[in-house]
Amino acid sequence: MIAHLLEPFARCISSQPDADALWIDNRVYSYAELGCHAQRIATWCQRMVPQRNPRIGILTSRSLTAYASILGVNWASGAYLPLNARLPASYLATIVSHAELDGLIVDSAGLALLDEIAPEGLPVLAPFVTDPSVCSVSVDNASIFSSLPKMRTPAPQHEDDTAYQMFTSGTTGTPKGIAVSISNLRHLLNVCQDRYRFTPEDRVSQAHELTFDLSILDIFTTLLSGASLHVVPDRQMTFPAHFIRTQKLSICIAVPSVAGMLSQMKMLKPNSFPSLRWSLFCGEALPESTVLAWKQAAPHSRIDNLYGPTEVTVACLRQECTTTLEVTQDRGIIAIGKPFPGQFAAIVNERGDFLPTGEVGELALSGPQVTPGYWRNAQLTASRYPELVHPQHGETRWYLTGDLARCDADDRYHFLGRVDNQIKLRGQRIELDEIECYLREVSDCDNAVVVIIEGDTPWSQEIIGIVSPAQADVGELRNQLRKQLPAYKVPKRVVAMDNLPRNASGKIDRLAIRQQLTSSTAKTSG
């Protein structure tokens, strides 16, 4: 038995009940209000699924239901699985079936999907829905929820209990489930609190879909420290400049391409965000030009570039962007830095041999944030989480990230792209991330992407460059690339788009771009 993960949240309910906890949809909820909702949800979980560490799905939009449920499920010592109600019902049904859920919590958006995805007999709670007649599934609605007593003390918790599950896209088409333990999450939160020192005075952004694990960082670091969580409205998620200013946020957590879009739209004017004290970027490569623009817009903010896969609990390496930026050579992006305290990183080759400083290989990660493995997939777990014999650490369990990287003489790591983003075209080995670097440079555009379009044969593949906005002179861009790259690396075409498509995590969606290119009317050079 251990101290419950939400004990700090419980203390906030007692010590600062009237303090702001959650801003959402132009409404503020205090710690007492949010705590009351979470404690009633915990009571429902314990009554409907009276077992250790139940798995509860949260099928919602980014609503009050979602945030109260995340806390309530954890309060009951359950594991929560976020399900985005905007995704296709067939995809959600696949996840629900594979996850073997013990219960489901929904808001009005999730309620409309229940008939298509909920297995027969699965307990369902719609805590703030008064009329559940939109579906035929039996649902405990608002009238039942409001009569539930509050579970005032969190249920007993164990370090190896699952805190939450995330499902990510799999190469076979079947989503991969990743279960993150209490001990994994606790280490992340302790490291982040030691560095960023969240306080009750902080006002923190929440600008990610809950199915993107960066949301974990937003929610738990904020509500375990007594700070207030400010949910960016959906319509402002891509362009949150106005929200940061009007909400007077002190900590902003974002994917780099959002900052890149703000820069491209001339929205990062000097001193635009005077209230920010920390800006944390994670989820994508962080261009040097984005950092320079952000520094002007947020002159009082320190900036960290965070790196980490879902399998190693959100983030596990960091690089601060100080006066002297640590830029990865020939990439124009910020280094991903050094491992968090207690974490380890290394570079390995295809055989799992550890490579010396300076050599390029696959980035491997070890330490207390490495998760137990993939849900119900022992074969994939064995291949991606091998036991390797390290020269200093001996036989240790590692996670192989699939990212190319190298370690420099200062023990700092540099991201060099995905292993599967390195292609061989007509006999020549090409790294698409390298071409992206040059395209960003000649276009003066942070949102520049390079993809490979497959043909009927290996000889009919094409490298395509994409930039946004659509006003770019794509012919001139291709001419500039010819001056800086060997002919075989120059994109066959450069395409300009008004907006680059993004996935549910807010990252640039390369698959959607490839699909668009076959039918796009975007301006192009050939």
The whole-number average pLDDT for the span 262-285 is 94
Mean per-residue pLDDT of the chain: 91
15/85 same-domain check: yes
Residue 526 has pLDDT above 70, yes or no: no
Residue 168 domain-assigned (yes or no): no
411/476 same-domain check: no
> Are the C-beta atoms of residues 141 and 132 closer than 8 Å to each other?
yes
359/500 same-domain check: no
Residue 369 domain-assigned (yes or no): yes
- Give CA–CA dist 206/63, Å, rounded: 12
- Give CA–CA dist 190/194, Å, rounded: 6
Q: 458-498, pLDDT tens digit by residue?
A: 445 788 989 887 677 888 888 888 887 877 788 888 988 88
The pLDDT value recorded for residue 160 is 96
88, 118, 208, 506 from 216: Cα distances, Å: 23, 25, 10, 15
255/375 same-domain check: yes
- Give CA–CA dist 435/454, Å, rounded: 18
148/234 same-domain check: no
How confident is residue 171, by pLDDT bands cut at 50, 70 and 90? very low
CATH code of the domain containing 113: 3.40.50.980
Residue 285 has pLDDT above 50, yes or no: yes
105/14 same-domain check: yes
407/467 same-domain check: no
Residue 197 domain-assigned (yes or no): no
Residue 101 domain-assigned (yes or no): yes
400/502 same-domain check: no
- Give CA–CA dist 224/148, Å, rounded: 24
Structure tokens at 37: 């909702």
The pLDDT value recorded for residue 425 is 63
Q: What is the DSSP pairing of strand 361-366 with strand 344-348?
A: antiparallel
Task: Please name which of 54, 77, 74, 73 lies closest in space to residue 1, comparing C-alpha atoms.
Answer: 77
338/453 same-domain check: no
Residue 108 domain-assigned (yes or no): yes
Of 97-106, 437-446, 464-473, 507-516, highest mean pLDDT:
97-106
What is the sign of the dihedral through the CA atoms of 344, 346, 350 and 354? Answer: negative
The pLDDT value recorded for residue 63 is 97
Name the residue type at position 56: I
The whole-number average pLDDT for the span 307-330 is 96
Question: Where is pLDDT greater, at 44 or 133?
Answer: 44
Question: Where is pLDDT greater, at 143 or 444?
Answer: 143
94/150 same-domain check: yes
- For 314, residues 6+ apart whose C-beta sits below 8 A from its C-beta are 188, 213, 214, 216, 217, 282, 308
Listed range (158-162, 222-226, 327-331) with the worst mean pLDDT = 327-331
Q: 71-82, pLDDT tens digit by residue?
A: 999 999 999 999
Q: Decide: residue 409, CB within 10 A, 0-12 exposed, 13-18 middle, 19+ buried.
A: exposed
The whole-number average pLDDT for the span 278-284 is 95
- Decide which of 129, 158, 187 is a domain's last residue: 158
Residue 457 has pLDDT above 50, yes or no: no
- Give CA–CA dist 297/434, Å, rounded: 28
- Decide which of 417, 442, 458 is a domain's last residue: 417
CATH code of the domain containing 248: 3.40.50.12780
Residue 190 domain-assigned (yes or no): no
Q: Decide: residue 410, CB within 10 A, 0-12 exposed, 13-18 middle, 19+ buried.
A: exposed
Residue 244 domain-assigned (yes or no): yes
366/472 same-domain check: no
Range of the domain at 439: 426-525
- Give CA–CA dist 38/172, Å, rounded: 37
Residue 448 domain-assigned (yes or no): yes
Peptide bond into 469 cis (omega under 30): yes
- Decide which of 158, 187, 221 is a domain's last residue: 158
CB atoms within 10 A of CB 7: 14
Task: Please name which of 443, 457, 455, 459 lies closest in space to residue 525, comparing C-alpha atoms.
Answer: 443
The whole-number average pLDDT for the span 330-350 is 96
Which DSSP letter does residue 6 get?
T
Residue 431 has pLDDT above 80, yes or no: no
- For 32, residues 6+ apart whose C-beta sits below 8 A from its C-beta are 13, 17, 18
Q: Decide: residue 404, CB within 10 A, 0-12 exposed, 13-18 middle, 19+ buried.
A: buried
The pLDDT value recorded for residue 460 is 57
279/324 same-domain check: yes
Residue 455 has pLDDT above 70, yes or no: no
What is the number of structural domains in the chain? Answer: 3
CATH code of the domain containing 440: 3.30.300.30
Listed range (145-159, 231-245, 333-347, 488-502) with the worst mean pLDDT = 488-502
Q: 87-127, pLDDT tens digit by residue?
A: 889 889 989 999 999 999 999 999 999 999 999 999 999 99
Of 180-194, 411-425, 495-509, highest mean pLDDT:
180-194
